[in-house]
């Protein structure tokens, strides 16, 4: 459904993403696995249209046929560094209002409050400044900001790196749930194969700037690709 055709991103000295041709299936929880530097985050940025101007870009990206997906609305982004993702001098509510205004949508108080509830967050927190919230609260707020305009595609970047196993499970359970309920597509970037195997419908393996393999949790053990095999055998380290 989300088609990438010969996507490339090049820096002046070397190619960063090359020959990426893939058709991400819709309504699935998709994981993008790879080592640091394999280009996962860059691919996300490209889908958002936010590749730095110093790099040159090639290839085409098509979201659902004939539709124009806007970042922030149809494409939601959950950042890795959630703590710095809020405007430090605006309350959470003001930041949300800005978001609504930017997409010409009215601020829906009820929906916001119900989302807060489902994350077990106090409504008062909306009137606080980011530095007054804890890390965990901020992360949940960041997720709310990413999903509350009901995106069709959710890009999640290494969300669980700093989380303990319990928090990780809660987060990923929620995300999986949400994906199934809203029939959105989740593109989840991580380097933890075990997480991916547990939650994903499909996995795409990235190495050195390109997608080298596509598997499902059921078929991964049978993959012919040496790198995939290596990842799989060493997944419990």
Partner 1 sequence: MGRLFVRQTGEALFFLFFMTFGSFALLRFLPGDPVLTLLNIDELSASPEQIETVRRELGFHEPLLAQYIDWLSRVGRLDLGESFMTGRPVLLMLGESYRATFEIAGSGLVLALLLAVPLGTWSACSNRHVVRLTADGVSLIGAAVPSFWIGLVLTDWFAIRLPWLPVMGRDGVLSIVLPAVSLSLALASIYIQLLRVNLQTELAKEYIQIARARGLSEQTIFWKYAFRGSLPPVLAVFTLSLGSLAGGVVVLEVLFAYPGVGKLMVDAVLQRDYPLIQGYILLTTAIIVALNVIMRLVTQHLRPDWRGGGMR
Q: Is 131 in the site for partner 1 (CB under 8 A)?
A: yes
Contact present, 48 and 55 (Cβ < 8 Å):
no
**What residue spans of 22-148 are helical by DSSP H?**
40-48, 92-102, 109-118, 135-147
Q: Is residue 101 classed as helix, strand or coil in its secondary structure?
A: helix
Q: Is 165 in the site for partner 1 (CB under 8 A)?
A: no
Smaller CB separation from partner 1, 115 or 231: 115
Give the shortest CB-227-to-partner 1 separation in angstroms.
30
Question: CA quadruple 224, 234, 211, 185: dihedral positive or negative?
Answer: positive
Distance CA 165, CA 130 (A): 25
Smaller CB separation from partner 1, 67 or 173: 67
Interface residue with partner 1 among 130, 140, 209, 215 (CB under 8 A) is 130
Interface residue with partner 1 among 21, 56, 84, 134 (CB under 8 A) is 84
Give the shortest CB-217-to-partner 1 separation in angstroms.
29
Interface residue with partner 1 among 29, 63, 77, 199 (CB under 8 A) is 77
Contact present, 57 and 99 (Cβ < 8 Å):
no
Smaller CB separation from partner 1, 24 or 86: 86
Between strands 56-62 and 2-10, the pairing is: antiparallel
Contact present, 12 and 54 (Cβ < 8 Å):
yes
Q: Of 49, 39, 44, 34, nearest to 19 (Cα)?
A: 39
Biggest CA-to-CA distance, the chain: 53
Interface residue with partner 1 among 88, 164, 166, 236 (CB under 8 A) is 88
Contact present, 136 and 167 (Cβ < 8 Å):
yes
Distance CA 147, CA 153 (A): 9
Q: How many residues bind partner 1 (CB under 8 A)?
A: 25
Give the shortest CB-50-to-partner 1 separation in angstroms.
6
Give the shortest CB-88-to-partner 1 separation in angstroms.
5
Q: Is 100 in the site for partner 1 (CB under 8 A)?
A: no
Q: Is 34 in the site for partner 1 (CB under 8 A)?
A: no
Contact present, 155 and 48 (Cβ < 8 Å):
yes
Smaller CB separation from partner 1, 48 or 212: 48
Q: Is 122 in the site for partner 1 (CB under 8 A)?
A: no
Q: Is 51 in the site for partner 1 (CB under 8 A)?
A: no
Binding interface with partner 1 (CB under 8 A): 48, 50, 53, 70-73, 77, 79, 81, 84-89, 98-99, 102-103, 129-131, 145-146
């Amino acid at each position: 459904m989300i088609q990438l055709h010969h996507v490339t991103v090049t820096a002046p000295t070397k190619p960063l993403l090359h020959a990426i041709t893939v058709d991400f299936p819709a309504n699935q929880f998709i994981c993008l696995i790879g080592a640091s530097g394999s280009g996962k985050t860059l691919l996300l940025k490209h889908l958002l249209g936010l590749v730095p101007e110093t790099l040159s870009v090639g290839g085409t990206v098509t979201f659902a046929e004939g539709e124009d997906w806007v970042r922030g609305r149809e494409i939601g982004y959950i950042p890795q560094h959630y703590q710095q993702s809020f405007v430090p001098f605006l309350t959470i509510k003001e930041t949300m209002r800005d978001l609504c205004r930017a997409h010409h949508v009215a601020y829906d108080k009820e929906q916001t409050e119900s989302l807060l509830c489902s994350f077990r967050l106090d409504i008062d927190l909306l009137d606080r400044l980011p530095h007054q919230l804890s890390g965990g609260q901020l992360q949940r707020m960041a997720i709310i900001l990413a999903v509350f305009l009901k995106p069709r595609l959710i890009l999640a970047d290494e969300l669980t790196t700093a989380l303990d196993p319990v928090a990780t499970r809660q987060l990923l359970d929620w995300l999986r749930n949400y994906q199934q309920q809203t029939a959105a597509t989740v593109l989840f970037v991580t380097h933890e194969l075990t997480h991916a195997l547990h939650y994903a419908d499909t996995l795409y393996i990235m190495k050195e700037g390109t997608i080298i393999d596509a598997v499902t949790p059921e078929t991964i053990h049978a993959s012919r690709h040496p790198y995939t095999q290596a990842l799989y055998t060493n997944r419990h380290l």
